[in-house]
Structure 1
Amino acid sequence: MCGIAGWIKKGKIEKKVLENMTRVLSHRGPDGEGFYMNENPSFSVGLGHRRLKIIDLVTGDQPMSNEDGSIWLVYNGEVYNFKELREELTKKGHRFSSRSDTEVIIHLYEEEGENLLSRINGMFAFALWDEKKKKLLIARDRLGIKPLYYYVGEKEFAFASEIKSFLHLPSFNREIKGEAIHYYLFLQYIPSPHTIFKKVWKLPPAHYLLWEDGKIRVEKYWEVEYRDYPDKGEKYYRERLRELLEDAVKIRLVSDVPFGAFLSGGIDSTIVVGVMADYLKEPVRTFSMGFDVASFNELHYAKVASETFQTEHHEFRVKPPNVLELLPILIWHYDEPFADPSSIPTYMVSQLARRYVTMVLSGDGGDEVFAGYHRYLAERLLSLFRPFFFPFHFSPFLSFINSLPESTRINDLSRRLKRFLNRMDLPSAERYISWLLIFDLERISWLYTSEFEKKVKEIYPPDFLKKYFEKSLSLSTLGRCQYTDLKTYLPEDILTKVDRASMANSLECRVPFLDHRVVEFMASVPPHYKLRGFLLKYLLKKTFKDKLPPKIYFRGKHGFGVPIGKWFREELYAFTEKILLEKRTISRGYFKRKGIERLLEEHKRGRFDHSHRLWTLLMLELWHRFYIDQRLSNLTPSISVYSL
């Protein structure tokens, strides 16, 4: 895994700028760096690369070129089918100078141009400069596992693995997009192609960009289709899934460095570890993260899985002091406001794993691909029994339910009942989307200042989700929900979280459940094999029942939660109140003081669990203090949170 950066501009490229753009990504590639620079009559090109050595530790340095130096590549990721592609290309006369998967892309481009993307099985973000055609190709993998950003300036273009590289461009101004903050507050992330900064864009998953003579063209090269395919029978689906998923794990075990796996004790990570154990002669190294708060702690389940497969197991417990120490580090690595609190344990389990290994496998993507979220079950219940539940929506019973206090337990019943009953009168698209929102219109209305509300009134962030729900070709609600999650929540939240947290610790994370063959296959599986009655992940659990200890097979869905609700009522309340109500925060012009005070007071009293909303506001303000208020020379993750 690596970090990449590049710059095209009119006139000469300053080498020091390219070096700074690249070296700020050293956490993504601590094992070496390389540069390519070329001056043309009308513009200059520069490519930079930071390397984390995983495959071919001796001859795989980048930037890498073809035989005559007319094509240059910087690459971040892994091509899992590179051996087959290499053999095919060798037969066609291509000569290889390394054992790396990177070189395969260069020669495949010589054969097929941009169409090479359909041939690759992997996770990747790369940039390829074609000197003969004076053309730049940048591309991102199908599911969005690896990140790629680009900056469009006056007579210049730049790209990088992370936004922080652009801060070193002489022309770059840290101008905030107001609409990005609006999106963030609803979704807890800023969706593609937007970013927090003006002139900076995310390249969406499954897309490539061509730069040629100052003109930019962005194209999609892959799509997954959830449609209503003919039913081939459960036996066929179980056998085919087993074949695909075992191979997906197997090809991700190719490595020249030590590796292991994240193990939460849930269905997904347990299956991954179980399949790994079949292929490895030595014990799998496994890593888990837990909490002292019982309802959020899964370490006992991880221990059950570890004992079943006799792994070399390591674990750690997260406590509130760890969180405050981590905040500047998380803000630095995520580059823009990002409010998924599970970034905390993800960072810490990555830090733990990096002490022992350089690469891990994880079970990320399992909920989206195999139908594991509780909201899928809620939609099933409402679709089947809505006529029965509907009278409760207009009865005193609903008023009573809405008056109940909310605990901070991960599966609090009153909170779930409120969400369930208050959504039943919505159309299916709006109802499903409402499960995914952090703030709703009502709370936004008493939070925003009138000035900020005017700036963003033309934008309705839930429409970002709705367009995918309505675009899905599936006739089933489950298929539409899965497609929406696969296109939004998975790449924008889950994969962003895992990439930044793991790469912050120079750790590569591979995700076998997101092998595109597995994703495409599961999209073709009829809904009743994914959600059978009220059993989530039916096909996955039945197929790999032999890999699941009974305590894990029969346990309910837990989720990767963080006890921020408890922390915001106890250990972190004073800190959060101070930051959110300070004059500096209010003077930014986004929020009314009374709105923030109401959130704090309702949460503290236990009236509502506003923990995710408070976390979203806290991370936004701390991001401003870090990336906007600080000088570039002071931007470092070693800043104390108390000095922000």
Structure 2
Amino acid sequence: MCGITGWISYESDLRTRGEVVDAMTATMSCRGPDDSGTWLGTHAALGHRRLAIIDLPGGRQPMTERTPSGDVVLVYSGEAYNFAELREELAAKGHRFTTSSDTEVVLHAYLEWGQGVPEHLNGMYAFAVWDERTRELLLVRDRMGIKPLYYYPTRDGVLFGSEPKAILANPAARREVDYDGLRGLLAFTKTPGWSLWKGMHEVEPGSTVTVSESGIRSRTYWKLTATEHTDSRDETVAKVRELMTDIVHRQLVADVPRCVLLSGGLDSSAVTGLAAPYVANEGEQLRTFSVDFTGQEENFQPDRIRATPDSPYIRDVANLVGSAHQNVVLDSAALSDPEVRRAVVRARDMPGGMGDMDTSLYLLFKAIREQSTVALSGESADEVFGGYLWFHDQAARDADTFPWLAFRELTGGRTAMLRREVTDGLALDDYIGDQYRTAVAQVDHLDGESGLERRMRTICHLHLTRFVRMLLDRKDRASMAVGLEVRVPFCDHRLVEYVYNTPWSLKTFDGREKSLLRHATKHVLPESVVSRVKSPYPSTQDPHYAEALQKQARELVADRDAAVFGLADREWVTKAAELDSAEVTDEVRQGLDRVLELQTWFEEYTPSLTLG
């Protein structure tokens, strides 16, 4: 896993601008702590930071193939899990390889298939190819959007990078944020192509962007489409088992220490159960890691979305598969530490708004990185198999909005702390309504689908194109900030396509959520996990966390020059900071987290707000 960046300028000689490209590349040193490289051409400059995973000595970048009519240069981030098969196919076509890295395979795949290269890849990737033969830049992003990639059009070309910080390091990019940026930040739905920064865009998942002297054009090479599912229940379960086994085994290939993130839920436990025998066959013991909070199990209080603590189920899985398990236990002081918050904001280039769930994820990854370089995660199974509680809540399913917003009523808590004029200018309800209608219109349906099947296909599509992308971005940024590669088996496009087209009646055939996954993997799971009700990523219940936020908020209110109060309501923050602990609701805690993150973001990025 790596970080990539670059600059295309058709009216400049970039061979003299090496110091700018070096600065852009240096912003991603955390993504690639093992190596750094740049390539300078007349109208193109590329930078790369490397986290070595496969072929440690042979995968240096930028990687160049010299041709009679010009160089073809690649900077690549990610993993192509089918690179061994592609290598054989390309070798049969006459290609010759000097390394065993997947990077070289992707470069030769481009030489063979040109802009059709992503259709041949299975994996998570974001890469750029500068082709001197055509004087064109090709930007490519994986189908599900696992790896990030941004671009910023300029007067005579483009800037691009794995993260906005790489682009912002170029003086041609302005650190400007307008209402559209803030709407996308606060809406809790990922608008395709959205970036917080004005003028910057995300390469959409399953898409390519081509930059030439005549302009910028995009192409969609993959999207979810509706196809008829003809397999029986038993055949479907067997197919999911076959796919899951193949995917997990492919994603365990690495030349560095590996592990699995284990939460005790069905998703991560299934990955753990499938991974353990594969690793054992290689003569190793699987490592597993989880996150917990001081006193959480002993003092756990069930709530609307979390009925049970994770720890007992984690122990059951670790005991069954015989993994070397480590529980990373965090206290409220660590979770609320302003420097940890600062690291998270820097990692994401924005105030993510998830409070302790962001800081705990970062601290978990930081602890894992001391022992492993690659981790497999259960992320995205709920979106693929229909696991969230709101999939099964009638009111949320029938609501004329994104079902996760209807179920949790998240938007109010995310804007309560803002100044009234900012809230009015955002018109967030209108924005969400427009986004919802646009998203629903993009869903492809089969003729003759029943009302329920049609609605559930729509809801699954919304999760796979709007919801999961927020979580994938969060996981990528938090992990890459500490140089940890997190792989997501449930995002393999073969599994996504197959399960997406199974009827809702099959996804819930045992009267439970995620029926297909449960029955496909129960042979590697303890009974306690097979029967466990869905529980999301944990959040601390320690009242000391909210108390720490209140103390920091009181200090912030005392600072008359705090930039955050250009957006936040000082009176709201003052009142929230003085509440008795019993009066601090989830909405208040969420608002305090958001205000403190926003202030940190102002301090780190000094953005210019254009809210006229």
Instruction: With the length of structure 2 as denominator, give the TM-score of the two structures.
Output: 0.88
Q: Secondary structure at the match of 1:476?
A: helix
* CA spacing shift, 1:524–1:359, aligned 2, 3 Å: same
The structure 2 residue matched to 1:284, chosen from 283, 286, 296, is 286
Q: Secondary structure at the match of 1:195?
A: coil
Q: Secondary structure at the match of 1:570?
A: helix
Shift of 1:136: 0.3
* CA spacing shift, 1:522–1:30, aligned 2, 3 Å: same
* CA spacing shift, 1:16–1:481, aligned 2, 3 Å: same
Unmatched 5+ residue regions in structure 1?
383-422, 631-644
Q: Which is further off, 517-526 or 593-602?
A: 593-602
Q: Which is further off, 296-305 or 515-524?
A: 296-305
Trace 1:210-609 onto structure 2 (pairs within 5 A): 210-213=210-213, 215-226=215-226, 229-281=228-280, 282-292=284-294, 293-294=296-297, 295=300, 297-323=309-335, 324=337, 325-341=339-355, 342-379=357-394, 382=395, 427-429=399-401, 433-435=405-407, 438-440=410-412, 444=415, 447-450=418-421, 453-454=424-425, 460-474=431-445, 475-491=453-469, 493-532=470-509, 534-563=511-540, 566-567=543-544, 569-579=546-556, 582-585=559-562, 588-596=565-573, 604-606=581-583, 608-609=585-586
For 2:240, the aligned partner's letter is: L
In 2, the alpha carbon distance for the partners of 1:626 and 1:443 equals 21
Shift of 1:319: 1.2
Contact 2:190/2:467 (<8 A) preserved: no
* CA spacing shift, 1:459–1:201, aligned 2, 3 Å: farther
Contact 2:290/2:364 (<8 A) preserved: yes
Shift of 1:194: 2.3
Contact 2:149/2:202 (<8 A) preserved: yes
Shift of 1:554: 1.5
In 2, the alpha carbon distance for the partners of 1:209 and 1:432 equals 31
Contact 2:402/2:436 (<8 A) preserved: no
Q: Secondary structure at the match of 2:144?
A: coil
**2:161 — aligned with what?**
160
Shift of 1:261: 1.0
* CA spacing shift, 1:455–1:531, aligned 2, 3 Å: closer
* CA spacing shift, 1:24–1:432, aligned 2, 3 Å: closer
Trace 1:90-101 onto structure 2 (pairs within 5 A): 90-101=91-102
Q: Which is further off, 113-122 or 429-438?
A: 429-438
**1:409 — aligned with what?**
none
User: Structure 1 residue 32 and structure 2 residue 35: aligned?
Assistant: yes
In 2, the alpha carbon distance for the partners of 1:469 and 1:581 equals 46
In 2, the alpha carbon distance for the partners of 1:278 and 1:315 equals 21
Identity of aligned residues (%): 32
Q: Secondary structure at the match of 1:8?
A: strand
In 2, the alpha carbon distance for the partners of 1:586 and 1:212 equals 40
Shift of 1:451: 6.0
Contact 1:57/1:256 (<8 A) preserved: yes
For 1:538, the aligned partner's letter is: S
* CA spacing shift, 1:607–1:378, aligned 2, 3 Å: farther
Shift of 1:473: 2.8
Q: Which is further off, 29-38 or 576-585?
A: 576-585
What are the superposed Cα offsets for residues 293-347 of structure 1, whole Å, 9 maximum, x if unpaired? 3337423321221111001111211111112141111011111221123222221
Shift of 1:86: 0.9
For 1:464, the aligned partner's letter is: Q
User: Structure 1 residue 86 and structure 2 residue 87: aligned?
Assistant: yes
**1:15 — aligned with what?**
18
* CA spacing shift, 1:16–1:541, aligned 2, 3 Å: same
In 1, the alpha carbon distance for the partners of 2:154 and 2:593 equals 33
* CA spacing shift, 1:195–1:570, aligned 2, 3 Å: same
Contact 1:190/1:337 (<8 A) preserved: no
Q: Which is further off, 131-140 or 590-599?
A: 590-599
* CA spacing shift, 1:165–1:437, aligned 2, 3 Å: farther
In 1, the alpha carbon distance for the partners of 2:580 and 2:567 equals 21
In 1, the alpha carbon distance for the partners of 2:252 and 2:238 equals 22
Contact 2:177/2:198 (<8 A) preserved: yes
Contact 2:159/2:167 (<8 A) preserved: yes
Contact 2:333/2:545 (<8 A) preserved: no
In 2, the alpha carbon distance for the partners of 1:620 and 1:487 equals 27
In 1, the alpha carbon distance for the partners of 2:351 and 2:72 equals 36
In 2, the alpha carbon distance for the partners of 1:543 and 1:262 equals 20
Shift of 1:569: 4.0
**1:117 — aligned with what?**
118
Contact 1:305/1:549 (<8 A) preserved: yes
What are the superposed Cα offsets for residues 523-573 of structure 1, whole Å, 9 maximum, x if unpaired? 111111212464111111011111111121112111103127835543332
* CA spacing shift, 1:66–1:263, aligned 2, 3 Å: same
Alpha-carbon RMSD:
2.6
Shift of 1:477: 2.4
In 1, the alpha carbon distance for the partners of 2:582 and 2:123 equals 49
Contact 1:372/1:536 (<8 A) preserved: yes
In 1, the alpha carbon distance for the partners of 2:600 and 2:291 equals 25
**1:388 — aligned with what?**
none
Unmatched 5+ residue regions in structure 2?
301-305, 446-452
What are the superposed Cα offsets for residues 352-371 of structure 1, whole Å, 9 maximum, x if unpaired? 21111111111111111111
Aligned length: 579
In 2, the alpha carbon distance for the partners of 1:83 and 1:358 equals 21
Shift of 1:507: 0.9
What are the superposed Cα offsets for residues 432-464 of structure 1, whole Å, 9 maximum, x if unpaired? 542365224x98589443366246579513432
